[in-house]
Structure 1
């Protein structure tokens, strides 16, 4: 940086005091043109750097102030919308949240854009969401049209395969949701419903609703929970190996039920060979 300043001073000195003499010498005309090219528009030493630092500092301050203002506006907007966790958002609410985040980023990135270009769309989206919520509360049919309604995927212990297919839910989704509710055996489930947020809630059968008492009465159990060994007509060799079960045992169990692997929608088994088979419905 210091070398650049001294070099600029030297060029200015040469340009001001020796330019006339050098330009009159034919052999030095090329040197003169080069010095002129280097020294043109050279600002006074030190002023350019100070100006750049000041400009950068002002721009950073504008960005920080805008970010703070938008943070307050977005926080207030989400509070006004009454939202909680991301997993509890309805589809329309999630769309509004994503749009607000994208709109808010534009004035922060481009400091030349007026703040109103970001604030007005955010306020508009929030007002639109509040109006939509009020309309959906007054008209249930409109609410079902916009966000849907809860769907039953298990009733009286029977999996509603057509409903799962319509919702594009797989066996893995169902099993994962069961594990989150500390349910490892599908035979324990009496009722399962998919909420509009996508979360699945389960109701256990009466015999399993007080698991602690049942465990005390039985003296406890050290067996591992059942594992899914067939899902959507495809076997899972890794789970079978983990449970100590072989393909011979699997084919024997299916032969007793006069089934093939492709006929099975879901099959679970434990280390003792106790298994549960749910047949695939026709046409699925």
Structure 2
């Protein structure tokens, strides 16, 4: 009977964890934020403790797991509403290489060394740093790389959004050597008279790609 109880508790907790992780949303392991990882580890530890201690009522194990799920969902909803909250929660991408130039100050700030950089570049089959136009260290720890293009004419795509959730990204504009006045003029030409109309905007070959805010 003792083994049967362990099997039953394991199956119940397995199903509960499956439901919790599905409700928390689909994300690849490499895309998990530190907070996501902590929550997943805590839920896993609670499940293990419950299986190893059959004397503990299973409800007492499931309750804190569900509570963590609710907290995580609330935080995710808040991060959808506010870019600043999202940056506090998940962190911001760090530009390690910009226009072919390595930013060692950013690397030191992130405690990210050249061995880390070269290792992640090799994972993307890049052996020469000189081939890299932009390298961005994502909050998940992954390195996003945009290579330099040679020979044929290529579209000049800015990897830095100009508008996110209706908020102008001043740093992105400065990297393009543009200002808010220029951006507003470009938006007006395309029939957008308010930043609040725009959900997302980036620059492709000098032209704006715009995604409108969904109507509420």
Q: Normalising by structure 2, report the TM-score.
A: 0.68
2:108 counterpart of 1:165: yes
Q: Distance in 1 between matches of 2:87 and 2:40?
A: 20
Partners of 1:183 and 1:107 in 2: how far apart?
46
The structure number with the bigger radius of gyration is 1
1:204 lines up with 2:147 in the alignment = yes
Report if the CA contact (8 A) 1:83-1:89 is conserved: no
Show the counterpart of 1:76. Answer: 19
**Residue in 1 aligned with 2:48?**
105
Task: Give, in whole Å, the separation in 2 of the partners of 1:108 and 1:152.
Answer: 44
User: For residue 217 of structure 1, what is the aligned residue in structure 2?
Assistant: none
**Equivalence map 1:184-263=2 (5 Å):** 184-207=127-150
Matches of 2:25 and 2:143, distance apart in 1: 22
Structure 1 residue 209: Cα displacement = 9.0
* Structure 2 counterpart of 1:151: 94
In the alignment, which residue of structure 2 is the partner of 1:92?
Answer: 35
Partner of 1:121: 64
Structure 2: distance between partners of 1:139 and 1:203: 28
Instruction: Point out the structure with the larger helix share.
Output: 1
Q: CA RMSD in A?
A: 1.5
Larger relative contact order, structure 1 or 2 (CA cutoff 8 Å, min sep 6): 2
* Distance verdict in 2 for CA 1:128–1:165, change over 3 Å: same
How far, CA to CA, are the matches of 2:88 and 2:21 in structure 1? Answer: 23
**How far apart, in 2, do the equivalents of 1:180 and 1:107 lie?**
39
Structure 2 unmatched runs, 5+ = 154-216
1:84 Cα deviation after fit = 2.7
